[in-house]
Structure 1
Amino acid sequence: MKNTFPDNNQIGVVSTFSELVNMNFQGDMNAVCWYRNLVGDFQEIVTKLELKENITEVSTEDLLALQLSEQGHLARDVILKDIQLLTDFGASPSLNLLKNYERDEELDFISTDVYSYHVDRSPIATDTFLCTYHGPASDILPNDEVEQKILIPEIREELKKLHDGPEAKFEKFLEEYFFDLHYQPKPDTKPVNLGSGHLWRLAVDHPTQQVLPCVHRAPVENDGEYRLLLIC
């Protein structure tokens, strides 16, 4: 399928779920997008779900219990099909109704929450799948447009003060507290927004991965608007 993101070697674009899970990451490409124009009223689903916490996991039973209009039915069918496809593939999808994620405000010189550009890490071969059905979507950046925060001299010095231990254990400290997963955008970078309705597969940092992990961040939510996100 034609790349809908011109001049972007980071993203592969496909038109089926089978292509999404079977396309090999290679070179600079560490994100694959099943590009879709979904039908249905996803906002109706959001308004009828109950937010119990800032992040509320929505079960299949919760979805099926909703009394929906015809457009709401179409939206629900899309979500249920996506959950089934991912489950059959061997993934463990989670549908989340989101008000906001927890903010990391403990340190003023580095942020390690999901609003900061970061990569995902796993000890086993896996990928991150996500689809935003309603609300703002995540951003990604090419790896050559970011700098690892732990390599920025002033941040590194502050982290060394925080560590206050032997130099030989400093790198392990950075990994243990996930500081090494976070990145700072370089000046004049242009993030790619993942948009609504598309199902994405992002490369994760694991021992057998052949490409660099995909750098991404969660969006800042709009006031009074919940996000509906499928992720695994």
Structure 2
Amino acid sequence: MHNTFSDNNQIGVVSTFSELVNTNFQGDMNAICLYRNLAGDFKEIVSKLQLKENITDVSVEDLLALQLSEKGSTARETILSDIQLLADFGALPSLNLLKCYERDDELDFFSTDVYSYHVDRSPVGTDTFLCTYHGAASDILPNNQAEQKILIPEIREKLKKLHNGPEAEFETFLKDYFFDLHYQPKPNAEPVNLESGHLWRLAVDHPTQQVLPCIHRAPIEDDGEYRLLLIC
């Protein structure tokens, strides 16, 4: 199966949902892609949904209530099928109509919002699933092309000043405020765009995980264009 991701060690490419959920992460591979070229008009769905706030949760009922053309209906069937497959698997998928995420600009030297490269952490064994049906798609970064921000000396010094407490509590402080989840691309890093339509499974940082968690970030939205994103 030829695709844009097949030559990448970080990414496993599969052709069925069953393979997506049952393939083990191993070695450098911490992202698995159910590669597909989706039919249907997802833009029509986006144009008919109501944005209530910057991130609007779209329910199955909201989707079913839309009056759609044949191509729009085809797109809706795909989304409903993805939601059902993930729910049957035991995940809790949510469909988001996105104008933008909240920005974190409290610290001028360290951003902890989702536009910054980061990993997800969970106390239990789980993975992150996502699919962008419309709009800009997320990026991932090979772990060897990124540096944990808290290990960069000048950033670490600034965080120590911010902490202003006992050295023994510094590492806990970094975890409590999620500073340790964020990464900076190394010079010449080559991010991989996840593109639209594919369903992804990304490795999360948790106690039983055998591989490094997948470093990713939300894209800067295209001007005037909403994203339609399934995530869990």
> Shorter-chain TM-score: what band?
over 0.9
Deviation at 1:2, TM superposition (A): 5.4
How far apart, in 2, do the equivalents of 1:224 and 1:172 lie? 40
Residue aligning to 1:142: 142
CA contact (8 A) 1:149 1:183 kept: yes
How far apart, in 2, do the equivalents of 1:161 and 1:96 lie? 38
CA contact (8 A) 1:112 1:178 kept: yes
How far apart, in 2, do the equivalents of 1:46 and 1:153 lie? 44
Runs of 5+ unmatched residues, structure 2: none
Residue aligning to 1:168: 168
How far apart, in 2, do the equivalents of 1:215 and 1:31 lie? 10
Code of the residue aligned with 1:81 in structure 2: it is S
CA contact (8 A) 1:119 1:216 kept: yes
CA contact (8 A) 1:120 1:205 kept: yes
Residue aligning to 2:12: 12
How far apart, in 2, do the equivalents of 1:64 and 1:209 lie? 37
Residue aligning to 2:184: 184
Runs of 5+ unmatched residues, structure 1: none
How far apart, in 2, do the equivalents of 1:222 and 1:181 lie? 26
Residue aligning to 2:231: 231
Deviation at 1:3, TM superposition (A): 6.2
Residue aligning to 2:32: 32
How far apart, in 2, do the equivalents of 1:54 and 1:92 lie? 21
Deviation at 1:95, TM superposition (A): 0.1
Aligned ranges for residues 47-62 of structure 1 at < 5 Å?
Answer: 47-62=47-62
Deviation at 1:176, TM superposition (A): 0.1
How far apart, in 1, do the equivalents of 2:93 and 2:76 lie? 15
Deviation at 1:188, TM superposition (A): 0.7
Deviation at 1:6, TM superposition (A): 4.4
| Number of residue-to-residue matches in the alignment | 232
How far apart, in 2, do the equivalents of 1:6 and 1:131 lie? 18
Residue aligning to 2:199: 199
CA contact (8 A) 1:45 1:76 kept: yes
Code of the residue aligned with 2:202 in structure 1: it is L
Code of the residue aligned with 1:33 in structure 2: it is C
Deviation at 1:4, TM superposition (A): 3.8
Residue aligning to 2:68: 68
Residue aligning to 1:102: 102
CA contact (8 A) 2:6 2:13 kept: no
Over residues 5-59 of structure 1, what are the superposed CA-to-partner deviations in whole Å (9 max), with x where a residue is unaligned? 2431100000000000000000000000000000000000000000000000000
Q: TM-score, normalised by structure 2?
A: 0.99
How far apart, in 2, do the equivalents of 1:2 and 1:9 lie? 15
Over residues 198-222 of structure 1, what are the superposed CA-to-partner deviations in whole Å (9 max), with x where a residue is unaligned? 0000000000000000000000001
Identify which range, 81-90 or 6-15, moves more after superposition: 6-15
CA contact (8 A) 2:6 2:12 kept: no
Over residues 124-163 of structure 1, what are the superposed CA-to-partner deviations in whole Å (9 max), with x where a residue is unaligned? 0000000000000000010000000000000000000000
Code of the residue aligned with 2:68 in structure 1: it is L
Residue aligning to 1:211: 211
| 3-state SS in 2 of match to 1:168 | helix
| 3-state SS in 2 of match to 1:32 | strand
Residue aligning to 1:42: 42
* Structure 1 residue 130 corresponds to structure 2 residue 95: no
